[in-house]
Every structure is written in C-alpha cells, then in structure tokens.
Structure 1
C-alpha cells in the first residue's frame, strides 16, 4: 500500500492515482501519523516541506522499525527545495571521504 503524508491539502491530488493521503495540521501531528503508519505501509510519499522539517525524527523512528517503508520525497507544491540533493551530496561526500563541490545553481 502507498500512503502520502503532507501539511498541504493540495497533496490530496495523489488520491487520483491510488495514494491514501493523510493531510495533517502540524509537525507534531505529522510525526504521530508517521509513527502510526510505520508498520502499515511499504511506500510513504512525503513532500519536501514536511521532509525537511521531520527528516531527523523520521530517521530515528525508522532505525527501530523491523520493516521500514520506502520513503519517496516529492517536490512541494510551492516548488522544489532540493533538500534531497543536499542530503545526497553529503552522503556521497562522506562515503568517498572528499567534500564534493556543486554549482550553486543546482542547489
């Protein structure tokens, strides 16, 4: 089952393609919903705005999960924030032991 979690009502558009959407009003409510969904879903779709606010808390919760979901981060409806690109650059830099330099217009 694919589930979506967002702070934005526009996110409900994903229901047209079969995503069960949960739109919450606060970060605390979003984290509670995330914890509740952990054992229930295989794929969790979140927008960049919510992911940017809760990524650390999500990671902590996933560490203890027996079967964590695949988290798919999509651009928010306000436009892409490139949060994932920044995290990917950090992870690759750490893996290769060299700080990667990225053109500012990409991030």
Structure 2
C-alpha cells in the first residue's frame, strides 16, 4: 500500500467514525417481564433504562389490569395468560396498580 493510499484509507475511517458509521451503536435495553400472580406484581419495584419494554403477564385465574397512576399507560382486562407491554420512553418514577384490585401496586423507575 502506498503512502497516499494509506492516508486516504485513514481519512475514510476518520470520517466514518465522525459520522457514527464505524462505531458500535448502543444496544437496545433488554425487555423486562413482570408476573401477575397471587394478587401481586412480581417484581413489584424495578429500575430500568429509558426505552425498555416492560411486559406484564397474568398468571392468576381471574382478570387483572395494569394502570399507571399518571395515566401514561393502561391495559385492558388481562385474562389468565394474557400480556400487556408498555414501552417506557422517558425517565421518571411510574407507580401503577390493578384497576380491579387497587391494593395490588408496583413501581417502575426509568433512568436516562
């Protein structure tokens, strides 16, 4: 490889890195599962990064719902085996409960 070819190649790599074409991209957050079982959310308190998809799955033999206190997400009634997913796109703390059984509560802390 000639000196001129080496310089052109290095310049191409530098431009690609500046444009973000050659570097590793941030991995998407892994989804998180919350079980609804025996009238509880498990785990009831979690911390996740922005962009995380959280899925609740009802393992009880009666319906439950998932309702954010701030109304940012709300499921339909979930029968046994049904799931609901909410994508958490902004940082903050999100308390939630079952609309049919308000004593069932949980909390998600979303970090930047």
TM-score range (shorter-chain normalised) is under 0.3
When normalised by structure 2's length, the TM-score is: 0.26
When normalised by structure 1's length, the TM-score is: 0.27
Larger Rg: 2
* Structure richer in helix, relative to its length: 1
